[in-house]
Structure 1
């Protein structure tokens, strides 16, 4: 039987939804740190499920969506199968993940059935407007679909001083206020740490021949 492919850079997929850009900035911070650590990274933005009329009722929504969609492709099932690790990012809407991100997760039924995401490393990060706006709740809520998909859930813990200043032990996060301010530098550093840590753990699983995305097709079926 052919050996698993343990060569090449670690593959990280960062899939996020951001209406105003705060989650986007955390996603880019995590992605940049992962690239600096030697990973191959794809950043994808989940697409709107609301219609154009609904989006026009919220100031700046359509314009921000158009800008981000021009920069980032929509996530695909192929992206998820390609990756060794996936980071999911979302704002907290009433303590729940964005519908747009949930829509992407709901399309992974075939991958769940095949077990093709089982063994991949998974993590989550979030933003909220207020200190008690649900960032920890929504990060933890993303653990559930990762568990159903058989992923290796990787919390950040307090594995770096950055996590003592920002984020949570469950994943990087930021409080951005009603005006959707940029995350603080401490928040960015927490996201960078999460990107580096995710890549390091995924790389160890790749080296051990345990990563499903690297196994020959015959082994996966």
Structure 2
């Protein structure tokens, strides 16, 4: 059986979602997956970014660290794991712009049968983590992805995260993900990889 290929594509402004993404990638690699870790790019210019302290500087640093996600990355992957900060209870525009650019692959049926999962973070308690993850579920369904939630399939899920995916509350960027939240993200990476491996032999048999 071939090595599962996992695309972890995220947007992060102040590193909380980035750290969850790194942990998801680590979990996938624990099960032998080949991982591509990509950061979605800004959809506004520097003049807007300068209005939020640290945004431009952090973006510059992270964009030097990660390649931008491409359509080819999504076609390559057996599973796609999306990561986003909460934006008014929903997905960030940066990540959504990348997903919207996958219409060509969707039209050709090339995403059908791949595994899909999502994780995220928010600045404030009750700031919309669960609604944000759930807002991406319909999008994954439209793409033809097989949605892989975390559920309560590991004991660590009773300490942190949600049954929909790994999450974190940064308390206005004062707190970074702790060991429990990172453990949930690593579990999510392992879980998605296991499902992707099981699906590898099935995708070709499912009509587009």
TM-score, normalised to structure 1, is 0.91
Partner of 1:3: none
Aligned residue in 1 for 2:136:
142
Task: Give the greater-gyration-radius structure (CA).
Answer: 1
TM-score for the superposition, normalised by structure 2:
0.96
SS of equivalent to 1:62: helix
Deviation at 1:37, TM superposition (A): 1.1
Question: How far off is 1:205 after superposition?
Answer: 1.0
Q: Does 1:155 align with 2:149?
A: yes
Deviations 1:122-150 (A, max 9, x none): 00001012221000000011111110011
Give the match for residue 211 of structure 1: 203
1:165 and 1:40 mapped to 2: Cα distance?
A: 28
* 1:29-74 deviation per Cα after TM superposition (whole angstroms, max 9, x unaligned): 0101111210000000000001110011111111100110011100
Q: Counterpart in 2 of 1:49?
A: 43
Q: Which moved more, 1:104-113 or 1:171-180?
A: 171-180
Change (3 A) 1:68 1:220: farther
**Cα drift, residue 161 of structure 1:** 1.1
What secondary structure does 1:125 align onto? strand
Contact kept, 8 Å, 1:84 with 1:211, in 2: the verdict is: no
Q: Distance in 1 between matches of 2:13 and 2:28?
A: 23
1:154/1:198 contact within 8 Å kept:
yes
Unaligned runs of at least 5 residues, structure 1: 1-6
SS in 2 for 1:23: helix
1:83 aligned to 2:83? no
Partners in 1 of 2:90 and 2:63 — Cα distance? 23
Say if 2:66 is the partner of 1:72.
yes
| 8 Å Cα contact 1:22/1:182 also seen in 2 | yes
CA contact (8 A) 2:50 2:56 kept: yes
Aligned residues: 208
1:20·1:180 contact (CA, 8 Å) conserved in 2? no
Deviation (angstroms), 1:112: 1.0
> Unpaired segments of 5 or more residues in structure 2?
none
Q: Which residue of 2 aligns with 1:23?
A: 17
What is the CA-CA distance between 1:180 and the residue it aligns to?
A: 4.4
Match in the other structure for 1:113:
107
Which of 2, 6, 26 pairs up with 1:8? Answer: 2
SS of corresponding position for 1:64 = helix
| 1:184 Cα deviation from its structure 2 partner | 1.3
Hey, what does 1:186 align to over in structure 2?
180
